[in-house]
Chains A and B, each alone.
Chain A
Amino acid sequence: MILGDLLGLPVFGTPSRGSAAGEYDGGRLGKVADARFVLDGQPHQLTSDARLLGLIVSPHSSGSFLGYERTEVRHPWPLPQLLRWRHRGSFLVLWEDIAFIGREEVQLRQGFTAYSTALDRPE
């Protein structure tokens, strides 16, 4: 799988089958804006495997955050504000909550959790 193919794909929830539907179930939620990895996989000589932690879904734009996904980057006004407004409502969905990755779309599992996308660990 090539990451470039995954970025920009539309993301859908799984249609609820009469059960208590969560706020996001069913319908189009946005597009894949980024993929988050964590370096906690199998260790190698130089580095560890980078495991897909989850996808960042942005409801309005699959464009770049230009680096402003990190909350500690706040300058220069008004660029961070503009970029964050363009990506308002974006969320992180973990790999465990992804039901299906096809060639044309990504589907999330029922009752998935939308986490904050904020990245504020020191680099």
Chain B
Amino acid sequence: MTLNRKPPPPAAGRILDAQLHLMDRQVLDVDAVPVTTVDDLELTDVDPNAEIPPGSPAPVIISLLTGPALGTRIFGGRPPSRRLVRIPWTDVSDVSVVIRLGVSGEHLDAGWVQRWVRDKIIARIPGGDHDPG
């Protein structure tokens, strides 16, 4: 945080720092129901074996990651790509203290554990599907 460096050229859109604004934030769906926490982010690929040609377009965020991405972020390692649970960036509607989605969590891959526990266990216990009396 050296203040005597010059500021970068002004950007045309809102600035988001991954660690500060995105990572580990709560994700809410369109009805404000919690879906998950942002465990990691997936970006478009950069060839890890070759120099980046000058003028290449910058990577963009493809999806918010959850599920096994949390384990590997804490303990290291890399889950196989097909096991990642993704929420597409195009579903994101707003980034503030929380990240809001413009879609319902009901149909997201990230909600399958919640749906499984709900349908197989909790909804089968009497009173599980009623408002608290």
Contacts and interface: CB of A to CB of B under 8 A. Distances in A.
- Is chain B in direct contact with chain A in the complex (CB below 8 A)? yes
Interface of A: 1-7, 33-42, 44-54, 56, 64-65, 67-71, 84, 87-92, 94-96, 98-103, 109, 114-119, 121, 123
Given A90-B1, A123-B96, A39 B14 contact: yes
Nearest to A89: B2
Q: What's the dominant secondary structure at chain B's contact region?
A: loop
A67 B49 CA distance: 34
Chain B interface: which size bin? 35 or more
A117 B94 CA distance: 24
B114 interface: no
Contacts of B61: 37, 49-50
Contacts of B43: 1-3, 6, 52
A1 B46 contact: yes
Given A2-B65, A46-B91, A84-B1, A64 B7 contact: no
Interface stretch (B17-25, B104-112, B115-123, B124-132): B17-25
Contacts of A46: 90-93, 102
Contact of A69 (B20, B51, B78, B91): B20
A95 B54 CA distance: 10
Given A2-B42, A53-B11, 7 more contacts: A37-B17, A46-B102, A53-B58, A71-B3, A90-B1, A99-B51, A115-B5
